[in-house]
Amino acid sequence: MNQISFWCLSLLLTVVIAAEETPITRIAFGSCANQSAPQPIWDAINKFDPQLFIWLGDNIYGDIRRPLTVIGKERTFGPWRNSPRFVPSSEEEMKLRYAKAKANPGYSRIQRKAKVIGTWDDHDYGLNDAGKEFDRKVINQKLMLDFLNEPLDSPRRKQAGVYASYTYGPPNRKVKVIVLDTRYHRDPLRSDGSILGDTQWDWLENELSGPRSEITIIGSSVQVISNLSATTGPLFYMESWGRFPKERKRLFKLIADTKRDGVIFISGDVHFGEITRYDCSVGYPLYDVTSSGLVQSVEKVVPRPLRSIVRLLFWYTPSTMRVINDNCKFKSCTYGIILNLIPFTFSSDKLWKDLLTSQDTLEIRDVNGDTVLGTNVSLSELQPGGSNSLKDTTTKGKSQRYCTLEIELPGTTRYRLAVLIYFTIAVLAMAILGLIIGAVLAITACVYKCKVD
């Protein structure tokens, strides 16, 4: 994961799907579940009663995070570091961590009453930020599929990578779920190479060109639309599709070329919740609902009195793709305080055809069920030419289009967070230096006076 990936949070998406016996049901998803930490979020998820649960990665934390060490023989932090901060666990240790996660009482209830599918991210892949170069990916793929109770004869056990697709519901009520593998074939972060690899790209093209579905949910372990690294660098960088601009452009083009309607991205990794949107790629808005943190959250890593500063920094960081409106609890329209849920809600007493035209709310709720973020969307908008599909009228009554990528912002805007932080550090350093100089002068004056006396 990235430098801030020890933060986490959770989300829950509810979409309408249909089965022969039960025409309306719910899909839940989440990421970042440290198996060694308390996981009260399962109570809220079980109360929501999903039929399907989708893991989006970091399903366990399988690698070992070593302490931050600035000086000494093994330094894990700073430009002078000579030892890695993260190291892989043994196969036996990975098995123990998966067993602990699987035995969690709340998650056990989910396994009994819902189908569980998913993909992985770096920490359950086996090493922070790792890609195709990781030499334990073959055995760790088996362990991850064992955790998901994947059948022994599943194609996922024979292919290179854990990507897969599923379709639910009868004709005219179908939901297709595609989970991608953004680790097994991924080139180095700064290479602008491939995320999926040739084989997975060919597979994805076949899936998107296949039979029509009313909704297509594409699960990615890292964010697809948001590219906060473009505005948080050089302070810190986060993994995302935005750091592979050619790959992201190829993904959007593939959706457009296959004329796939109703695509919604779901993602994890960053340890806070947000809803992002991009209007200028496929002819209708592409939403990315980021679900990150079944256990940890951004603001929990700082003392409670300082959490308002974290919210201020979120607000100050430029994010052109984030959906910002009056439905947000905080002005930043992110949520990183406690564990949370996200439902994409449609009333259960409506017919499918009504759902395609009605306005419903894409929401982020906290662990108590209170709404903290939200935006209105209808399925009819998720197709080219849909009603008001490329306008958002939720931002204080003004319509806008989400077309300016973070990387396209002028430098004075893009780097304003770094400027603020460095300026603050410089002021504090000068203040401390001033205090030291003042103290030295005071002591010198006192000593001189004592000598005179």
Judge contact between 48 and 12, C-beta under 8 A.
Answer: yes
- pLDDT (tens digit per residue) in 86-109: 999 999 999 999 999 999 999 999
Q: What is the pLDDT of residue 173?
A: 78
Please state whether beta strands 340-341 and 115-119 pair in parallel, antiparallel, or not at all (unpaired): unpaired
- Determine the pLDDT at residue 392: 61
Per-residue pLDDT at 17 exceeds 50: no
Helices (H), 26-127: 41-48, 91-102, 105-113, 122-125
User: What are the start-end ranges of the H helices in 223-348?
Assistant: 229-232, 245-257, 307-316
In this prediction, residue 79 carries a pLDDT of 74
Question: Which residues, other chains included, contact 99 with Cβ-Cβ below 8 Å and sequence gap of 6+?
Answer: none
| Of 17-31, 178-192, 275-289, 423-437, the least confident | 17-31
Residue 369 CA to residue 384 CA, distance in Å, equals: 33
Share of the chain above pLDDT 90, in %: 56
- pLDDT at residue 10, rounded to an integer: 38
List residues bridging with 395 in a β-sheet.
398
Q: Could you tell me the pTM of the whole model? A: 0.89
Q: Say yes or no to pLDDT of 260 above 90.
A: yes
The DSSP code for 223 is B
Give the residue among 328, 319, 346, 342 at the shortest CA–CA distance from 395: 328
User: Which amino acid does the sequence have at 287?
Assistant: Y
Q: How high is the pLDDT of residue 412? A: 92
pLDDT in tens, 286-322: 999 898 888 878 888 888 888 888 889 999 999 999 9
Q: Does the structure show a pLDDT above 80 at 4?
A: no
Select the more confidently predicted residue: 129 or 68.
129
Please give the share of the chain, as a percent, with pLDDT higher than 70: 85
What is the Cα gyration radius of the chain? 24
Of the two residues 298 and 451, the one the predictor is more confident about is: 298
pLDDT at 106: 95
Does the pLDDT of residue 11 top 60, yes or no?
Answer: no
Q: How far apart are CA 349 and CA 312, in angstroms?
A: 41
Predicted pLDDT at 366: 73
Give the pLDDT confidence score for residue 361 in this predicted structure.
63
Domain ranges within the chain, ordered by starting residue: 27-408, 415-453
CATH value of 27-408 in 2.40.30.10, 3.40.50.300, 3.40.630.30, 3.60.21.70: 3.60.21.70
Predicted confidence at residue 400, as pLDDT, reads 61
pLDDT band at 2 (very low <50, low <70, confident <90, very high): very low
pLDDT at 23 over 50: no
Query: Which position has the higher pLDDT, 327 or 152?
Result: 152
Q: How confident is the model at residue 370 (pLDDT cuts 50, 70, 90)?
A: confident
Tell me the pLDDT band of 336, cut-offs 50, 70 and 90.
confident
> Residue 369: its pLDDT value, please?
65
DSSP E strand stretches across 107-246 = 115-119, 164-168, 175-179, 215-220
Mean pLDDT score, 224-246: 95
- The predicted pLDDT at position 394 comes to 52
Which tens digits make up the pLDDT trace of 440-449? 998 888 887 7
Region 28-40: what's the mean pLDDT?
Answer: 90
pLDDT at 329: 84
Which pLDDT score, from 0 to 100, does residue 389 have?
59
Mean pLDDT over all residues of the chain?
Answer: 85
Quickly state the pLDDT bin for 381 (edges 50, 70, 90): confident
Contact 134, 127 (CB under 8 A): yes
Query: Which has the minimum average pLDDT: 51-55, 73-77, 415-419?
Result: 73-77
89 near 62, Cβ under 8 Å? yes
pLDDT at 103: 97
One-letter amino acid identity for 133? E
